[in-house]
Amino acid sequence: MPVLPGAEPFRHEGGEVGVLLCHGFTSTPQSMRPWAEYLAAQGLTVSVPLLPGHGTRWEDMQLTGWQDWYAEVDRALRELLDRCARVFVFGLSMGGALTLRLAAKHGDAISGIVLVNPANKLHDPRAFALPVAKHFIRSTPGIASDIAKPGASEIGYDRVPTRAAQSLRDFLRLVDGDLPQVTQPVLLLHSPQDHVVPPVDSARILARISSTDVTETLLEHSYHVATLDHDAERIFEDSHAFVARLAEGVGSKEAASGG
């Protein structure tokens, strides 16, 4: 199946500091594209992979699971590690969970992580039935475009495949167990008004990680897809300042300071 227009992966070759951006469940790199382009303009090397089963049609996600999504971001991370002196990982929603898993598994190879409305658990009371329901119900209504900003929209599926949702549930449980292994500096930004991932997920993540360099920021004017919302510029600027602080003196002047 052809990739939806605007949903393509993004790659920019910049300096010796690299950033991997991980998009969310049923979403695409389009939700991260303005962020990626901002970082690229600062001289960073940037990679935004398209997760398997995403960016085409929701039926294609039925054939994928968390192992496929994680394998793709792990592959992209290893490419950046081979290319760059310092590498950071950023994630939105399920992309935040993927980021936390990478941080737990790769340790000091990752210099820091940025999380935006990261997912920790499926809170829908019907989620417990997914192991059985996935055999009878193919999909449920979509979760895309939870955005406060008028006119902004997210390229994402209008249906959630139940088999993939069950895999996401399993993955989030796995990541929750990994959290004490996360030791890198963390910038976590979350929206008090989020209709997809409640603030309690961010609270649990902050309570369970072992990182000592932690900054929490509230995105008061945005909903779930904050990277396309009113607080987008704050996310972009704060995340670049986070990278510049931790990668000071590495690579080109542009990569370290925004030049």
Residue positions annotated with a catalytic role: 93, 194, 224
What is the torsion angle, in degrees rounded to the nearest 10, for the CA atoms of residue 97, residue 102, residue 104 and residue 110? -120
- Displacement of CA 228 from its chain's centroid (Å): 13
Residue reference for tokens 């990541």 = 175
Spatial separation of the C-alpha atoms in residues 239 and 66, rounded to whole Å: 26
Q: 1 among the known binding-site residues?
A: no
Write the burial class of residue 250 (CB in 10 Å: 0-12 exposed, 13-18 middle, 19+ buried).
Answer: middle
Helices (H), the chain: 33-41, 58-61, 66-83, 94-106, 130-133, 162-178, 199-208, 232-246, 253-257
- 45-48 and 10-12: which strand pairing? antiparallel
> 157 near 142, Cβ under 8 Å?
yes
Please give the backbone phi and psi of residue 115, each rounded to the nearest 5 degrees, phi first: -120, 130
Q: 25 among the known binding-site residues?
A: yes
Spatial separation of the C-alpha atoms in residues 210 and 213, rounded to whole Å: 9
CA distances from 100 to 75, 89, 165, 240 (A): 15, 9, 19, 19
Name the binding residues: 25, 94
Which residues line the annotated binding site for substrate? 25, 94
